[in-house]
Amino acid sequence: MAITLHLGDITADDRAEAIVNAANSSLLRGGGVDGAIHDAAGPALLEECRLIGGCPTGEVRVTGAGRLGARCIIHAVGPVFAGGARGESELLGSCYHAAIEAAAAHGCATVALPAISTGAYGYPLDGAAAVAVGAVDAAMRAHDTVREARFWLFDERAYGAFTVALEALGTTPTRAGAGGASRRAS
């Protein structure tokens, strides 16, 4: 089991069998990671999402991956942060756990994940990283057919927050890969 950290564009991951999308509840194209995934996957993704009809916060829905190299896209709807007293951490953890569970159910051993809810939804980065890493670690222990969770982070600040969260689990991330764009923890 490995949790790896990568700096850059999640849609560029050519090793992931499943890509997790930080979706809105309508599943229709939004901004940020959601917009990038919809753009890279092409118009067939939007049509498939329309047929699903939405997804509640804390849950996931699975579609094909369109033009992306992955087998599927797992759309996870994270919470809008409202101060932390409305179950946001539980809902965010549920997103990640459900995403790993869905990846396992679809036979995907390698999953690319974003920092859900940390953009427009306003979830504080340090708290979101701790929830994300803890939930993914627990979910991967429960679904051991998922061998690698690849977090794709948008900047050094996010990368640092996820590094600290991994270290809190007792894992020290190190540089991996010839290009130096990722760090590995296991």
Question: What are the residues whose beta carbons fall under 8 Å from the beta carbon of 111, sequence distance 6 or more?
Answer: 16, 17, 18, 19, 20, 74, 99, 100, 103, 146, 148, 149, 150
Q: And the tokens for 64? A: 């094909």
- Residues 176, 186: Cα–Cα separation, whole Å: 12
Residue of 15, 76, 65 whose CA lies nearest to 40:
65
Q: And the tokens for 157? A: 């600040």
Q: What kind and span of H or E run contains 73?
A: strand 72-77
Catalytic residue among 34, 39, 126, 155: 34
Neighbour-count burial for 159-174, b at 16+ CB within 10 Å, e otherwise: bebbbebbeeeebebe
Known catalytic residue at 155: no
Residue type, 12: A
- Residues 22, 26: Cα–Cα separation, whole Å: 12
Q: Catalytic positions, please? A: 34
